[in-house]
Amino acid sequence: MKKINFFLLFIFIYNFLFSMNAIGEGKYNFEKENLYKQIISETRCMVCQNQNLAESEAPLAIDLKNKIKKMVMEGKTETEIKIFLIERYSSYILYKPPFSSQNIILWLGPLIFLLVLSYILFRNLYLKK
């Protein structure tokens, strides 16, 4: 009986001592986790209609999430990751595409439309009287 108790005590202490290495390996970096969550929530899934990467479970989305997580853990900045995604998938992958010469009409089109419409309405309503 004493041998069994001693053996069980030995196993318990052995497991306790070697499991301590797994617990305190490193500090968890919440900044990197927040950056990862921010990027996947601002990035469009290229397979699913109107879903971001955070919501999507498509195989391509899972691969992209893994790639983004790897880049974040390597210390890449948000800008570097977004440049990589734009080079690979075009600016369509971002929900908020950057202001550039390629999409200037998309950004300024509504403003130009409102100005032209206002001018036409003003001219037709007030200047005809």
Determine contact, residues 81/89, Cβ cutoff 8 Å. no
pTM of the shown model: 0.62
Q: Looking at residue 26, what is its pLDDT?
A: 57
User: Which residues constitute the domain of residue 112?
Assistant: 99-129
Whether the predicted pLDDT of 65 surpasses 90: yes
In a domain, 59, yes or no: yes
pLDDT category of residue 18 using cuts at 50, 70 and 90: low
Total domains in the chain come to 2
Q: Looking at residue 103, what is its pLDDT?
A: 76
Q: Looking at residue 120, what is its pLDDT?
A: 92
One domain for residues 50 and 110 = no
One domain for residues 71 and 91 = yes
Whether the predicted pLDDT of 2 surpasses 80: no
In a domain, 114, yes or no: yes
Task: Give the count of beta carbons closer than 10 Å to the beta carbon of residue 56.
Answer: 20
Whether the predicted pLDDT of 6 surpasses 80: no
In a domain, 6, yes or no: no
Q: DSSP code of 49?
A: T
Q: Looking at residue 17, what is its pLDDT?
A: 67
Nearest to 86 by CA among 74, 98, 70: 98
One domain for residues 85 and 125 = no
One domain for residues 91 and 38 = yes
Whether the predicted pLDDT of 25 surpasses 80: no
In a domain, 5, yes or no: no
In a domain, 14, yes or no: no
- Distant-in-sequence, close-in-space partners of 123: CB < 8 Å, separation ≥ 6: none
Instruction: Say which CATH number the domain at 72 has.
Output: 1.10.8.640
